[in-house]
């Protein structure tokens, strides 16, 4: 068994509003972002999803495909520890890990079987757009929800910041067709304070950029409040 190897292939691809890794929530369920999984190749067949709508939530098993070439180390610096202390990679949810496999619980909304394409509509994912999906399994509350579980340094969800929009940002938002949804998404994403851990103690007021849908959003943190400075269309 020492040389055991197991090759896998994508069964689908996740489409999400997150166009870059920076800014994506660090776990699922923290932001109510909507996305879709498109089944591909031979897996794009209704037989594969028969019965899946009986479940409210799914486990996605996926590849951290954007990091695969960067390898992994036995010890990593989890953001929740301020980026200073190290932990064994297997004691963390680091994206740089042996085999580069991630897993996330997401909400299942519906399955669309139109025009020969299976699309599974989901929300709450923490996956960058175009992430390859390796497997999908139903979430089983009786087994997966462990009431007395302990979680070391990550026992609770991270603290959230308030988010304020400038007039200029609100103006661009008002021109978007689904602007309430986009505003709520930006607000939820930035309330997670995506700044690198080691920056959080410095009030450096640096301006950061994230991409959501086709929007480029510039923001900074001033006195623990996120200010959305500007929003521009990428195209």
Residues lying near ligand SAM in the complex (CB under 6 A) are found at 21, 24-28, 64-67, 93, 95, 102-104, 126-128, 131
* Identity of the residue, 93 or 164, whose beta carbon is nearer to ligand SAM in the bound complex: 93
* CB distance 62 to 101 below 8 Å: yes
Tokens describing residue 154: 């990550």
* Identity of the residue, 104 or 191, whose beta carbon is nearer to ligand SAM in the bound complex: 104
Q: Please name which of 178, 133, 97, 119 lies closest in space to residue 9, comparing C-alpha atoms.
A: 133
Residue 22 CB, shortest distance to ligand SAM, in Å, is 7
Residue 41 CB, shortest distance to ligand SAM, in Å, is 19
DSSP annotation string for 106-137: EEEEEEE-GGG--EEEEES----TTEEEEEEE
* Identity of the residue, 61 or 164, whose beta carbon is nearer to ligand SAM in the bound complex: 61
How many residues does this entry show for the chain?
Answer: 235
Please compute Rg for the chain using Cα positions. Answer: 19
Residue 27 CB, shortest distance to ligand SAM, in Å, is 5
Residue 211 CB, shortest distance to ligand SAM, in Å, is 13
* Identity of the residue, 66 or 181, whose beta carbon is nearer to ligand SAM in the bound complex: 66
Which residues make beta-bridge pairs with 133? 12, 62
């Amino acid at each position: 068994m020492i040389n055991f190897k197991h090759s896998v292939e994508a069964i689908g691809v996740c489409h999400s509003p997150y166009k870059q890794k920076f800014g994506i929530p660090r776990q699922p369920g923290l932001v109510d972002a909507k996305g879709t999984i498109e089944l591909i190749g031979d897996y794009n067949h209704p037989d594969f999803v028969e019965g899946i709508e009986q479940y409210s939530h799914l486990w996605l098993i996926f590849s951290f495909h954007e990091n695969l070439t960067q390898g992994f180390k036995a010890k990593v610096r989890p953001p929740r520890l301020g980026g200073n202390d190290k932990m064994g990679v297997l004691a963390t949810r680091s994206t740089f890990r042996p085999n580069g496999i991630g897993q996330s619980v997401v909400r299942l909304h519906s399955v669309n079987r139109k025009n020969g394409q299976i699309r599974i509509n989901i929300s709450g994912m923490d996956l960058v757009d175009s992430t390859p999906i390796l497997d999908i399994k139903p979430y089983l509350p009786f087994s997966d929800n462990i009431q007395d579980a302990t979680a070391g340094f990550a026992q609770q969800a991270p603290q959230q910041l308030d988010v304020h929009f400038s007039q200029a940002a609100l103006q661009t938002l008002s021109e978007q067709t689904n602007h309430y949804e986009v505003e709520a998404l930006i607000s939820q994403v930035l309330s997670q304070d995506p700044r690198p851990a080691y920056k959080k103690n410095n009030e450096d007021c640096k301006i950061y950029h994230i991409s959501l849908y086709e929007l480029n959003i510039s923001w900074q943190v001033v006195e623990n409040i996120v200010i959305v400075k500007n929003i521009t269309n990428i195209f």
